[in-house]
Amino acid sequence: MKTTVIGLGLIGGSFALSLKDKGLSDHVMGIERSEAGARRALELGLVDEIVDMDTALGQSDLIVLATPVDTIPTMAAKILNRIRRDQIVMDMGSIKQELCELTMMHPNRGRLVATHPMWGTENSGPDAAVHGGFAGRTVVICERERSDDDAASAVETIYRTLGMPIRYMSAEEQDTHCAYVSHISHITSFALALTVLEKEREEEHIFDLAGGGFESTVRLAKSLPQTWAPIFLGNKYNVLDVLREHIHQLQILRRMIERDDRDGLLESMHRANKIRDILE
């Protein structure tokens, strides 16, 4: 199988590596807007060659969209305009409603498989690409019934080979759930970093004192703004909803501390502890 990955950062780069490592693709081409990024992706061996869109459309069995989420819907629609019936397009974006709505009535909609692999790190760019990413993490496939069966099956085979359990959802469900379990974590981590940078003027104290707890909570604040701004804005209503609840929960805890309400604090934290049973 010949593949083109569009966007050779953390996600696209790691996916390209996985395709080759698992023998899923014998020739992986890449498209990357940044010239330096394209050069680096070649140097790192993420892809076999850098191509243009015409070559990608002419020669690929599979075209993978791994660019920031705000660029995916129109790019997908334009690629569907030009694709052959034996080719497959898949995306790896974190939100899905705009993509699914924009392509819903496209006569070639069946060639598109809308996916969201729930994996990532706080690093970005071609240098962030790693072997063995994705393994063990869930992938969401949205509106599988709108994809042709052969296209969906091919993509499912790829994800299964990478060791990923598959869940099926509507685009609306996926965007709501991901606001809860992924997007809000990033916002709270960015806000925590800003809080500490604002309050703690003596940087060496942050460095000296930051224990493992702080590091893990603030890790996501290292993530690429260009990746995450479009996700927050593209999933605006879900994100605002969860963010409102999160601020509300912080205010409740704050009021308990203000009032020395030890019992209330203990009860709230015991409830929060339940996350352990769910995650383990």
Long-range contacts of the stretch 40-43 (C-beta < 8 A, 24+): 40/125, 40/126, 40/127, 41/8, 41/13, 41/16, 41/126, 41/129
CA within 13 Å, CB half, 30: 32
Residue 82 CB, nearest distance to its own copies (Å)?
Answer: 29
Choices 54-62, 83-91, 151-159, 176-184; region in contact with its own copies by CB under 8 A: 176-184
251 binds its own copies (CB under 8 A): yes
CA distance linking residue 170 with residue 184, whole number of Å: 20
Q: Quick one: 54 or 258, whose CB is closer to its own copies?
A: 258
Tell me which residues in 97-156 interact with its own copies (CB under 8 A). Answer: 118-122, 137-138, 140
Beta strands in the chain (DSSP E): 2-6, 27-31, 49-50, 62-65, 88-91, 112-117, 139-142, 166-169
Report the 10 Å Cβ neighbour count for 245: 12
Q: Tell me the window of 6-14, 18-26, 76-84, 270-278 that interacts with its own copies (CB under 8 A).
A: 270-278
What is the nearest approach in angstroms of its own copies to the Cβ of residue 170? Answer: 13
Q: Where do we find the tokens 């069995």?
A: 61
d(CA 154, CA 168): 15
The residue type found at 103 is: T
Q: Which stretch binds its own copies (CB under 8 A): 26-34, 40-48, 155-163, 174-182?
A: 174-182
**For its own copies, the closer CB: 54 or 215:** 215
Total residues found in the chain within this entry? 280
Q: Which is nearer to its own copies, 82 or 236 (CB)?
A: 236
Single out the segment in contact with its own copies by CB under 8 A; choices: 6-14, 19-27, 56-64, 245-253.
245-253
What distance separates the 2 farthest-apart alpha carbons in the chain?
Answer: 68
When the beta carbons of 55 and 138 are compared against its own copies, the nearer one is 138
Size, binding site for its own copies by CB under 8 A: 91
Site string for its own copies, 67-106 (x = CB under 8 A): ----------------------------------------
DSSP strand pairing (88-91 vs 112-117): parallel
Nearest distance, CB of residue 11 and its own copies, angstroms: 12
What is the closest distance, in whole angstroms, from the C-beta atom of residue 196 to its own copies in the complex?
Answer: 5
Distance CA(67)–CA(87), nearest Å, equals: 19
Least Cα distance to 230 among 239, 221, 217 occurs for 239
Report, in Å, the least distance between residue 2 CB and its own copies: 30
Please report, as residue ranges, which positions from 183 to 242 form the binding site for its own copies (by CB under 8 A). 184-200, 203, 205-223, 225-226, 228-230, 232-233, 236, 239-242
Q: Point out which span in 25-33, 99-107, 155-163, 181-189 binds its own copies (CB under 8 A).
A: 181-189
